[in-house]
Chains A and B, each alone.
Chain A
Amino acid sequence: MDILKLKTQIIDALNLEELKPEDIKDDAPLFGPEGLGLDSIDALELIVLLEKNYGIKLTDPSKAKNVLTSVKAIADYIESNK
């Protein structure tokens, strides 16, 4: 799994223009004040990104909560669902 490519896709999908891929730590939390501070609409964009770019449909909210925690968690999920 190309994690740098995933970070670029996330930056593009969420319109995080002020960030570069190397600014996002692999295991930094995506949501909440300690991490990137993403919100529920970003979560929706990430769900769409997974569907559009990787053909992975996240339908279970409790599973999504575990998957959309960090870039590494998303990358692992993509890898295991290839």
Chain B
Amino acid sequence: MPQWKGKTEGGDANQSFLIRLLKKVDVRVIYCFLPFAVIYYLIAARKRAGAIYSYLRHRQGFSVWRSAIGTYRNHLLFAKFLMDRFYIYAGHKDKFNSASLEKDVVVKYFSTDKPLVMVSAHVGNFEISSYLCGKLPKKLNVLAFAGETEQMQKFRSSAMEENNIEMIPVREDMEHIFRLNDVIREGEAITMAGDRVFTGRRNHKFMFLGKEALFPTGIYTIAERYKADIIAMFVLGTKKNFNYKIHVEPITIDPALKGRDERARAYGQKYVDILEKVIKENPLQWFNFYDFWNIEGDENN
């Protein structure tokens, strides 16, 4: 099964240096260096680049040339979005914006007494959503792999604190399960990526961009247990610097559908449909840098 290590590139020292730099230097200056850094990165990490090329060529149906250029532009966008995140960690969150109407829709979901399960993906720049909507009416708990460096987690936590957001690191032990149980029972919101499979029996195959891929469905079982609202949410970059577009859509299924597993699958299918629509409109903002469709985890696939 394909897996991601759950870690942002660069060690503690580099990340700290970047934040110190961005406290003093406008991020647009850093943007100027990214095209060169990306070329180096494409050569050094060919396997990652190959996964994106294959996705554009075979799943999006791009020509050879368009896929090659698209691979470069995808990496460039990823680097730019990463820099935006570091710019926020450096204290510039007020510079970022999105349409107020989209923000209002999100805030509306956070204003009910019901728990909220927000399913995202490795598409666009989801973390930015945490800062775009201001202080949320209820706490948002972000479930994420615990692979990040301690430094990176500190940066995030400190940037998120005033927006009423908390990280719940997913570890091998059961601590995150207890936290999850507590927060959702309190009617808080949780978010996790709907395109990252965990080990276990709650992953199902869905047709995605013309080929079967694995997606987790456990999150929907939890949401149903606590009668939570379920929404898909993606934050997509626009052509303007510091501007993002929020795509938010409820994940709903036929209420008459019976069977817990069947219902979880139906939610999964709805999520995959929404994700496919979003990624077809924004093909370069797909940031799963491995062969996402390699279900068996075959290295040669």
Contacts and interface: CB of A to CB of B under 8 A. Distances in A.
Interface of A: 15, 37-45, 47-48, 58-59, 61-62, 64-65, 68
Instruction: Identify the interface centre among A42, A44, A59, A61: most chain B CB within 10 Å of its CB.
Output: A44
B174 A41 contact: no
B19 interface: no
A41 B178 contact: no
B218 A61 contact: no
Nearest to A41: B218
Contact of B198 (A40, A44, A59): A40
B177 A44 contact: yes
Q: At the interface, is chain A mostly helix, strand, loop or mixed?
A: helix
A58 B177 CA distance: 11
Contacts of B174: 40, 43, 61, 64-65, 68
Q: At the interface, is chain B mostly helix, strand, loop or mixed?
A: helix
B159 to A, nearest CB: 27
Contacts of B221: 41
B46 interface: no
Given A61-B175, A65-B174, A41 B181 contact: no
B178 A40 contact: no
A15 B224 CA distance: 14
Given A37-B201, A39-B202, A44 B173 contact: no
Interface string B160-181: 0000000000000111111011
Contacts of A39: 198-202, 218
A48 B225 contact: yes
B260 A15 contact: yes
A37 B225 contact: no
B79 interface: no
Nearest to B260: A15
Nearest to B182: A59
Contacts of A62: 173
B200 A44 contact: no
B222 interface: yes
B212 interface: no
Given A15-B261, A39-B218, A48 B176 contact: no
Contact of A44 (B201, B222, B261): B222
B178 A59 contact: yes
A59 B222 CA distance: 18
